[in-house]
Structure formats: structure tokens, C-alpha cells
Structure 1
Amino acid sequence: MKNKKLYGGLFLLCVANFIAHLFFYPGLPDTVPVHWGFDGQADGWGAKSSTLFICIVPLAILLLLAVIPKIDPRAQNYEKFDKIYRGFVIGIVVFMCAITWLTELTVYNVLPGSSNMIGVLVCGGCGVLFIALGNYMPRIKQNYTFGCKTPWALNDEHNWNRTQRMGGIVFVVIGVAMLVSMLFAKLLGETGMMVLLLGSTLGGTAWIYVYSYLVYIGKMK
């Protein structure tokens, strides 16, 4: 019942978000910014109708997240970390709804296209999500779609628990890297931000796999 109310409420949020976009749609120019670089500058453009397609994304994500616990081979384990999964669903859907407004905020000069505010807000939001998720990852139980899913972790509960604990640390580090890139965006520049974010993300992902394998072969006690 709780999940039905949650998904129902988020569904209404997505619908309200779409209707709000329709209100501002007539005032948009025929060509609008739809993509921004690390420096916050618009570097991709599209027809204004693309804004309506973009605001369908949160609804698509919500539907996917609602279905996943039902089709996962270890669906019964989701009940063991239900609150964490519910929090993740709320966070990602609300965040994606906010992201859909970047075009309007730029066009109406709420976030000037000449500033780096968009990059700052996106990196900051992602950073907070990573840090929050990292703190709860050790409580995620074995499943095939949520968490750090290495072959060795999926095959062994002890390995899974160890991998999620390490994954939580890595996620917090990645989140901090995102916040640092947000705070020092002008100093780092686009190249510096890319190196920091990609380095922490790719390096962290690789380390999680290495760590899980080391636990598997008994090198991590």
C-alpha cells in the first residue's frame, strides 16, 4: 500500500511537471538549448518540441523503477531495503523533474547561458545523490539491478556485503568529487572538471570490481 501511494504521488508529480511545461511552451523560441557542457555553456540545440519529450523522461524512469522490484530474480530481497529503494526512487525522480527545467531557465534568463550555474547545479545535485546513496549502500541486499553488481558479489552473500560497503565509500568519494568540481568550477575549467569527474567515476568503478575479486580469492580479509 505504501509503495502504491508513493508511485501514485510521484506519477502525479510527473504529470504536473508536464502540464507546467505546457504552460511555458508557447513562449519558447523555435530553437532551444538542450545540452550543456561541463562549463555550463549550451553546446547542443534542438526544436522546442524536444522540451516536451525531455519532460517525459522522469515518468519513464519512474515506471522502470516501479517494475524492477517485480521482475528481479531476487525480488524478495527488495523488502529488506524497501526504505532505501523508496528514498532512491523519490530522489532520482524529483531530481530528473528539476533537470527538465534547464531549457526554460536558460531561455527566460533565470540561469544566464553565459554563466556556469547550470554545471554547478547539476554537479551539486548529482554529488548530493551519490553521497546519500553511498551512505545507505551497505544495507542493500543481493539483487540483480540495484547496487554494485559484480559477478563474485552476485554469487556470494558475504562478497556482496563487503562489495556494497566498499561501493558506499566509493560513491561518497565520487559525490565529494562532484561537489568539489561544483565549488571550484571556474578554477578547474572544463578540462579539469572532466578529468576530476571521469577519473573518480571510472577509477572508483574499476576499484569496486578489483576489490570484489580480491574478496573472492581471499586476499581481502
Structure 2
Amino acid sequence: MKEMIKNYRGTLISSGLVILAGILVGFTSIQGKWLNVFFIVMQCALVTIIFYDNRNRQQSRKVIGMTIWIIPVITLIYNGIARLVNMGADTENLFMALIYYGTGLMFMVIGNYLPKVKQNNTIGIRVVWTLQDEENWNATHRFSGKIWVASSILCMLCGLFAESIAALVLYIVSIMAAAIISVLYSYLFYKKKIGTGEKLKIQYNKKVMVVYGIVTILTIIFIIVTLFWGSIDIHFQDNNFTIEAQGWSDYTVAYTQIDSISYEENLLQNSNDYRTNGLGNFKYAMGNFRNDVYGNYIRYTHSSCHSYVVMSVDGKILVINGENDSATEEIYHTISEKMSRELE
């Protein structure tokens, strides 16, 4: 371990300085502070695992160096975006470009390095068939390098259609496919060798397999739930109404606080709208947003409906709607009537 630290001393110092620079740049919020703590812990854990696993191996210096730099670069990019958002900059296009093109570039680099990765327990396609058969490891990583490069090209192409939900779906599918196809190739290579009569003693650790299976299933469930989870319900009282939101904080407005109210259609479709602090998925948008029309504003909306009730509440813009146009119209009329009664 000491020898590894000595050999990579320059890389460790420079990557640590990049993490520190990123933290200083993006020192803006409590959430950012905790995420930066997570980045530091992950970097320390990753370096420790890599050095410990490769202390007696002749792993490529370029591969280890590339792995050490992944988290510092992510830290710098994240904090740069956090600083721009805090300054009120219009960062939607920049953010999407960094997501699509940044991931594509990272996958392209990884794809080119995968064939050079030697068998180990830390870096690469680490499944039971590759870890216990060096020929399988080498074949899988040569094949996976091509798959990850192809995935990187798809990720970059998604950047050309950043506003499309289809682009986001393709982006997620391409990333998942790169991992799944790599594992599937390793298994098929193993089956092919068995088919030729070659005897391979593959030791399956049942406990580890069960844990991997559970983690994989929970991860898939979490991703699916996150993309569709949430609910918005509006409850009207005599003096105020409350937006009860599952996935974000509730919001209560007194009718006397409302300066103006209007019913709008297709208002947010072409207004360079992006989330600054809130929840956004395929079904709902809740929290603080910003666009070219209102600047900073608050919204609780269903993605399936393109009509909105727009209110000025104590000088702040609030945008809400129902699941469809008729529900939105009902919300508009109900609030308007309640406001009229308060003025009588």
C-alpha cells in the first residue's frame, strides 16, 4: 500500500487539489456541503480499495490514474453548476450539455481503456465468469470496450434533442444496455467454453449472488419509482387552500394573499423552463423553477396537462394545474369564487 501511495503521490495530490477547488467554487448550500462530503468519502474509499487490490498486481498506470480522476472531475463539474445556479444564471442548456456530452465523453474514455484493464477485483466488468477465467475477462473487456464507445455516441446524440423525453429515455437505456450486454457477453462466453467440452470450475458464492440480486432489484425499483412517484392534491378551505404534495413540501395560500389570477394554456412549453430546487419527473413538477416568462417562480403541476392557473401571491408567481384541462378549469373557478367572497 505504501509503495502504491508513493508511486501515485503526484496524481493523489493534484486530484485532491481539484476536489478542493470544486468545493470552494460550489460552497453555496447545505445540500451541496453534504454531497461534497460524500464525494470526499467516496474518493478516499475508491483509492483505498484500488491500491489494496492492486498492491501485488501489474495493473496499467493509465487505468488506475483514470479511475482516480473520475470523482474529482465530477466534483468540479457539479460545484461549477451549483455556483452558476446560485448566481441566477440560465444553466438549463449548459446542464443538459454536461449530462449528455459529459457522460458520452466519460464512456468513450472508459470504452477505450477497458481492453487494457487486467484481471482484478476492483476495476472492470467484475462478474463471477470474468473473475475466475482470465480468457473470459480479456474477451469480455475487448467486446465491452466497443459497446461502451457505442453507448457514448448515443449519449452524445441525445444532446441534440435535449428537450425531448425520448432523448432522456434513450440516454438511460443506452447506459443500462452497456452494462447488461457486457455481463451477458461474459455469461455467453462461459457457456460457449462449456459447450466445447472444456471444464471450468466456477465457484458461485450463493450469499454474494443473493445480495447482488437484491441490490439490483432494489436499484431498478428505486429508479422506476423515482421517475413516476409523487402526487398533487389541492384542498380548499373557507379562507385558504392547501396544496398537499407527495414528494415535496406542502404549500398554503390565503385568498387575501392573491394579487391576480389567470387561466393559461401551453404557457410553459417554450419558455426555457428548468428546475432550481424541487422535484421533476415524468408525471409531476413541484418546487422552485425558473423560466424566461416569470423568472423565479413556484409550481405544482401535472406533466399530462398543458393548461395552468397562474397566480401572483404576495409578489411571487405560483403556477398550478389539475390532471387535465377540466380539472384545471375547476381549480381556476373555485379559487376565483373564493377570492370574490373574501372581497365582499
Q: What is the TM-score with the length of structure 1 in the denominator?
A: 0.76
Higher relative contact order (CA 8 A, sep 6+): 1
SS in 1 for 2:126: coil
* TM-aligned CA distance change 1:16 to 1:210, over 3 Å: closer
Q: Residue type of the partner of 1:214?
A: L
Q: Larger % of helix: which?
A: 1
Where do 4+ consecutive residues of structure 1 move more than 4 Å?
A: none
Structure 2 CA distance, aligned partners of 1:76 and 1:83? 17
In structure 2, list runs of 5 or more residues that go unmatched: 1-5, 197-344
Q: What is the TM-score with the length of structure 2 in the denominator?
A: 0.51
CA contact (8 A) 1:55 1:97 kept: no
SS in 2 for 1:218: helix
How far has the Cα of 1:167 moved from its partner? 1.3
Structure 2 CA distance, aligned partners of 1:63 and 1:199? 30
Q: What is the aligned counterpart of 2:102 among 125, 135, 151?
A: 125
* TM-aligned CA distance change 1:214 to 1:69, over 3 Å: same
RMSD over aligned Cα, in angstroms?
Answer: 2.3
Whether 2:179 is the aligned partner of 1:202: answer no
For residues 96-116 of structure 1, what are the alpha-carbon distances to aligned partners after superposition, in whole Å with 9 as ceiling and x for unaligned? 221122222122133x15x33
SS in 2 for 1:143: coil
Whether 2:93 is the aligned partner of 1:116: answer yes
* TM-aligned CA distance change 1:205 to 1:163, over 3 Å: same
CA contact (8 A) 1:57 1:96 kept: no
Identical-pair percentage: 24
Structure 2 CA distance, aligned partners of 1:144 and 1:210? 19
CA contact (8 A) 2:129 2:190 kept: yes
Q: Please say which structure displays the higher CA radius of gyration.
A: 2
How far has the Cα of 1:164 moved from its partner? 0.6
* TM-aligned CA distance change 1:67 to 1:90, over 3 Å: same
CA contact (8 A) 1:95 1:125 kept: no
Name the structure 1 match of 2:40. Answer: 59
Residue correspondence of structure 1 range 25-40 to structure 2 within 5 A: 25=28
Name the structure 1 match of 2:145. Answer: 168
Q: What is the aligned counterpart of 2:76 among 87, 90, 97?
A: 97
Q: Larger % of strand: which?
A: 2
For residues 83-130 of structure 1, what are the alpha-carbon distances to aligned partners after superposition, in whole Å with 9 as ceiling and x for unaligned? 2220232244223221122222122133x15x3331221221111011
Name the structure 1 match of 2:15. Answer: 10
* TM-aligned CA distance change 1:80 to 1:154, over 3 Å: same
Name the structure 2 match of 1:37. Answer: none
In structure 1, list runs of 5 or more residues that go unmatched: 26-47
Structure 1 CA distance, aligned partners of 2:25 and 2:7? 27
For residues 15-47 of structure 1, what are the alpha-carbon distances to aligned partners after superposition, in whole Å with 9 as ceiling and x for unaligned? 23323444xx4xxxxxxxxxxxxxxxxxxxxxx
Q: Report how many aligned residue pairs link the two structures.
A: 190
How far has the Cα of 1:75 moved from its partner? 4.3
CA contact (8 A) 2:23 2:76 kept: no
